[in-house]
Structure 1
Amino acid sequence: MSLWAKSQSDQWEEPIQTVISEMQRVAPVMQQLTGIQNRLQKGAVAVEELMSRKRREFRDEMEAERKELTAEKAAAMGEIRKEREKLEEQKKAMEGVYKFQSSKIKLDIGGTKFTTSLETLCSEPGSMLEAMFSGRHKLIQDEDGYYFIDRDGTHFRYILNYLRDGIVKEGCLPSDPQIVKELEVEADFYQLQGLLKFLEGRGLPAVPQDDVDSCFRSKACTFYSQNGSLLQGSWVAKKQVTYKFKNLSGLDFSSRKFTYGASFVGSILRKANFRNSLLTNVDFTNADLRDADFENSNLSGRACFTGAKLDGARFSPGIKEQLGLH
């Protein structure tokens, strides 16, 4: 090395050593600062996560509180609605009471006195009572203000209760079949179709098919229909068949030979099947034969249909005219 180079090296050695010393002294401080920076960054992340969690918790709490308030509001509105409906019902009830009070009607049914309302008497459209008190007809009152109807008033309270309620409540009608029949007659007079429908067959004991079959023996037999065609029967009566005031609706009397006659006086025989049968001396007086089937049967042997209900009953062509039925 030349003297100049050595001189230059010696000249820079001391500053360089100074710098190195200084850097060695500062290095721990820099490491410490770097550690502090790392901790600050971690702290900032932790703070951000904490703030985010708190924001979520706050939003969840607000949403839960909103839902709770909404539910409380809905419940309160429901209660208010119920109270309003209750008030409306009370208002209607009071209006009804006012109508009843302002339209009071006094009736004399065959000597038995009743007091009711115009609303009640007109509650079933198409009934005789609705027609009477509709205002379309002039009615006469006696000196005490009663309207007289010449009917037996014994069962009229049942009529009024039906009109008041619009239905027949179970247990509110007599169980005696004779009284039920009398009530049915009154319902028919007043043309109360709803009550008639309810009363049909009620109070009359129902007869099972096995009971009917026990009156016959299984035996092949032949006879002629009223139109002259040959019929093949399967049952022959053992004795006179007697079912007075019974409920025989829907039972099967088809292909039977009533050798000794039969009595169905006052019985319910709706939709009963008498097809292909020989009905000799059979009495259907006052029987309900609506929708019964007599097609291809022989009714020429003094069958009686006096007072019978025959709406919808089916006969072979020309038979009703032969029997004088309408």
Structure 2
Amino acid sequence: MDLYDASYDIQCPSCKTTKYRNPHLKLMVNVCGHALCESCVKLYFIKESGQCPECEIVLKRSKFRFQVFEDPMVEKEIDIRRRVMKVYNKQEDDFERPDDWNNYIEEIENIVLDLVNDVNRSEIEKKLESYEKLHKDEIRRNLSKRSREEEELERLMEEERLVGEERAKKIQEELEKQRLSKERTKTTLLQDLLASEGDASLIVKSHADKLKEEQQILEEEMAAKSRLPAKATEFSSGIKIGFGRGKNANQKIIQKGTLYSYKAPDLPTVLQSPSWGNLDSDGFLGHVRKSSPQAMAGGYTEHYACLRALQEFMWGHILTPR
């Protein structure tokens, strides 16, 4: 049996230590995307900042984090995308036309692509800096808007969590009631069997019937609770129920024109399927796959499949006479 683990191939680019020799090896990445093991980070970044051994970019030790993805370039793209999206933080609702939103997204992707591949990095950094200065108020406003939306989402999630906990608590209480009821029934049955001199089978049957009756009552109560609808406070559109109830709420609606009256449609009572000879002329075979030469050699044509499908359709749509 091959017990080789592919994770043993993980290697620190600097000290060349592998996970095979050091099972506790953990790689860390920074904004440049070049990985280093935890020991090399402590060695190269004794002070708060230092240069990356590969690209010589000045990095901060506090910005290092453990590598999650196998490819360090993915980690680099995530960092860059997170930083760019903090500056370019508009939403689709902020644009009047879809084309403007698409151009905005395309600009973000081009910036991320250039920074990931280190293409015109200095120019892109200057572009980000100038954009942030020009749209400082708008960026701050969008951040506060997003934070409010996140707070509302967290509030809804907290409410759902509390409702789930309350539901689980009630279920646990019902289960505990059932367990205690079964224990009491068992104790009562044993006491009756010990105290009575009658037929034991009749006593057991009496207790079984009583237990069945109690179980049925309990099931009916739980079913009634589950059928009880929650009191709605708003419509699906978000408008509160009762909105607009004022002194004019009970006024009659003025009808314009004649009232609508229902008129039953004149439908045929029997639907007739086309004949074998009319399938091709009436166009029914236009969307049916042609038979292969092997099938036709056995006497099969596409007429069989088409006619059978039409007949099954007619059988399901036969209208009863009024």
Which TM-score tier does this pair reach, normalised by the shorter chain?
A: under 0.3
* Greater gyration radius: 1
Which has the larger share of strand? 1
Which has the larger share of helix? 2
TM-score by length of 2: 0.22
